[in-house]
Structure 1
Amino acid sequence: MKKRFILLLLAIILVCSLAIGQVYDRKETLYAGGGLWSPPNNWNPFTPWAIMTGTNGLIYEYLFMFDPLSNEMIPWLAVDGGWIDGKTYELKLRDEVYWTDGEKFDAEDVKFTFDIAKKYPGVHYSSMWNWIKEVEMVDRLTVRVHFTEPLYQQWSFQLYQLPMVPEHIWKNKTEAEILTGANEGPIGTGCYLAEGYGLDRMIYLRNDKWWGIEQLGIKPTPKRIVYLTVSGNNVALGMIFKGELDISNFFLPGV
């Protein structure tokens, strides 16, 4: 048992060392930082800070994007959404969107993403169930959300802040796995894949099968995004001056 543990520890150290020492083509690689304050260890989209490391945005996507300059919602995983009466909001989902394991994204995934916060109050957005009555799957690409007391602004915020997760992956996970699990090998719909990690970085590889390449005519320029642990503003500034860091923070996939 002791020998097996030592071999496992050496294997982990070797993988981490390779990730740290790997040199990528600078013309194809974006180096970012600002959201990691300790060695990376999970890709759990249910953690409130997952957007800071690229997990949400690069791997897990939203129903809409938001343009603060025009104050407009931009269709993303949803192609349309609107109030059909004072207490009912209807979402129309985009067809031919796939999770990276080949399964189709559909209304079951959207319903599950909302319902899991009702089942487990520890999920950070569970408070919305104080004013949501039911999430109804009308058909494969249509979801209706029924409200007891609509909070219109808060709901709009969730439409571009809540990442969708695959029901077929998460439905059999325990509450502990959902709230605190590492979620290694994450399955999302996004334009990047989790390629690896080291003691000071998370490494994302462009998903060349991403649905947005064909449907939106968008192909992210960096082949890789290396998200670094940056201990402070002075360190970040020095890295930028030396060309080791491209931006001091990174949130969304539109690069």
Structure 2
Amino acid sequence: MKKVILSSTLLSILALSACGFDDPDNGNTSETNEEANGYELITIANPADITTFDPHNNSVITTSAVLVNLYSKLVQRDESGEIVPDLATEWTPIDETTWEFVLRDDVTFHNGDAFTANDVAFSLERVANDTSLQQHSTFNQIETVEVVDEYTVRITTAEPDPQLLNRLSVPAASILPKDYFEEVGAESFFQSPVGTGPFQYESWQQDEAVELSKYADYFEGEPNWERVRFSVVPEDSTRVSELLTNGVDIAFNIPTADMDRIDNNEGTHVALEPIQRVIQLWLSNEEGEPTSDPAVREAIDLAIENQVIIDEILNGSATATRTHITPGNVGADESLYDTYEYDPDRAIELLEEAGYDDGVTINLSVNNYYTEMAEVVGGMLSDVGITANIELIEQSQFANRLFNQELDEAIFVGWGNDMFDGSVLEFFKDGGVAPYTNPDIDELLEEAAYNMNEAERTEQYQEVQQLLAEDRGAVYLFQLQGRYGVNDRLDYTPRLDELYDVNDIELTE
């Protein structure tokens, strides 16, 4: 069994704990938007509650989507995915392992403390050095954060790091107030968190809502919205009902079956945008597993008709792919995108040629959010002689079992790419969380990790993708589109990274 190393993609487990689950005892919002006028209140319905206010110790996208409104980072991504300034105004590479960042001098934390270079050093060194934090592996290549002066820092990494700016743009790079944090301690701090973002903490009623209010002294100018409410509404039907009756302004992850209903309702519409999440089936090649046979892995791939799932379950809101690295990300191989291989007759032949005259049985671990998709895949596999014993796992348990290597030889996952880079494939390195390993892939990923030449890195990642496609270490199904129900009063376009930048959401009138 592989030893697990938590890779820099931990935050990207976009669908392991971030999507809805049914809970008939919860989901009623306590306040309707009929009470709000103009920019007074915006209410967003999420299928799951946040797990923490600690941005350095979080791996759940619905949590990150809230925290990005509280905290700021040195750099951030705009709505198109480009890196732009946040707390840093400019950055310059000093040498292969050192970058200098010039900071804004007009920023205050929500408690009134002035933001300085000391806060940057404290925050980044905290996540880089504390091995107990979930995002430690994203930043453990940072050796030092030198305070040059009050508004300048130099970050030095152990090796050349072509991804440093990517790392500093993710929610896990959020900056905390050093003096106040040390004064009150971590436990008290995260009970009433303080950041430099456009909105400040008001309350958290667990399993009900997180409420924020605008921070009038926000460094980019006074925020539009007076209040923000992130309501917890696990049940799909309740999220849709709340949207249709003006109880919420935005409902995340709406069922495809309700899309026409929302579009045809007066005052609401569906917003569909591509997101970074790719649905995929990881296949172990560990000796003794049925999927260790390349013929079985290839047969699994050829048995699945991707477009049927896209059309019948997702109402067309996805794009077939044979890779995780979708167009627009560094390292993308577009020859593997918007395509799939489907040949059930050849799948049957492969199994017969490999000696599986009576078929083959595999065990398939599935995040229960993907139950319907997995059952359709199971039916397709059955048609070619592969029996899939499906284990449905509640979402809150799935991630823990994944990282503890407690899942089966086949794993059905939805995984994102918050680094916008081919390095997301590092979970296939020996020691990563995926159950498949390949020494050629290990070598290429290791070389790419420190290669400052982007063209060469792109070629290395493309070669990794071709190897995975050829050997079926993963069977990729499709890149999802985010499905949001939206009140017509809002001018809202969902982001590629699935985060809510509430300060960019405006009224249509």
Give me the TM-score of the superposition, normalised by structure 2: 0.40
**1:138 matches 2:148:** yes
**1:32 matches 2:44:** yes
CA distance in 2, matches of 1:41, 1:148: 31
Give the aligned partner of residue 167 of structure 2. Answer: 158
Q: 1:195 aligns with which of 181, 185, 202?
A: 202
Q: 1:237 aligns with which of 226, 231, 240?
A: 240
Instruction: Give the stretch that moved more between structures: 231-240 or 96-105.
Output: 231-240
Q: 2:56, 2:136 within 8 Å by CA — same for their partners in 1?
A: no
How many pairs does the alignment contain?
A: 224
**1:121 matches 2:131:** yes
CA distance in 2, matches of 1:187, 1:43: 10
Query: Percent of pairs identical after alignment?
Result: 22
CA distance in 1, matches of 2:61, 2:116: 22
**1:183 matches 2:187:** no
The residue identity in structure 1 corresponding to 2:169 is Y
Secondary structure of 1:36's counterpart equals coil
Give runs of ≥4 in structure 1 deviating > 4 Å: 19-24
CA change 1:62–1:147 in 2 (3 A) is same
CA distance in 2, matches of 1:246, 1:22: 9
- Give per-residue Cα distances to partners, 1:74-117, cap 9 Å, x unaligned: 11111111312211111111111011221110110000011112
Secondary structure of 2:53's counterpart equals coil
CA deviation after TM superposition for structure 1 residue 187, in Å: 1.5
Q: 1:85 aligns with which of 61, 82, 95?
A: 95
CA deviation after TM superposition for structure 1 residue 156, in Å: 2.1
The residue identity in structure 1 corresponding to 2:228 is I
Give the aligned partner of residue 213 of structure 2. Answer: 205
The residue identity in structure 2 corresponding to 1:65 is Q
CA change 1:35–1:163 in 2 (3 A) is farther
The residue identity in structure 2 corresponding to 1:34 is N
Greater Rg, structure 1 or structure 2? 2
Give the aligned partner of residue 275 of structure 2. Answer: none
Q: 1:33, 1:245 within 8 Å by CA — same for their partners in 2?
A: yes
**1:223 matches 2:226:** yes
Secondary structure of 2:55's counterpart equals coil
CA distance in 2, matches of 1:130, 1:100: 28
- Give per-residue Cα distances to partners, 1:180-209, cap 9 Å, x unaligned: x67222211111111223351111111112
Q: 1:251 aligns with which of 490, 494, 500?
A: 500
**1:103 matches 2:121:** no
Unaligned residue ranges in structure 1 (runs of 5+): 1-18, 214-218
CA change 1:124–1:41 in 2 (3 A) is closer
- Give per-residue Cα distances to partners, 1:46-67, cap 9 Å, x unaligned: 3315763455211111112213
The residue identity in structure 2 corresponding to 1:191 is P
CA change 1:25–1:68 in 2 (3 A) is closer
Instruction: Give the stretch that moved more between structures: 56-65 or 191-200.
Output: 191-200
CA deviation after TM superposition for structure 1 residue 251, in Å: 2.3
Give the aligned partner of residue 65 of structure 1. Answer: 76
CA distance in 1, matches of 2:248, 2:32: 16
Q: Which has the higher contact order (CA 8 A, sep 6+)?
A: 1
- Give per-residue Cα distances to partners, 1:213-237, cap 9 Å, x unaligned: 1xxxxx4322111110011333322
Give me the TM-score of the superposition, normalised by structure 1: 0.76
The residue identity in structure 2 corresponding to 1:198 is Q
CA change 1:152–1:163 in 2 (3 A) is same
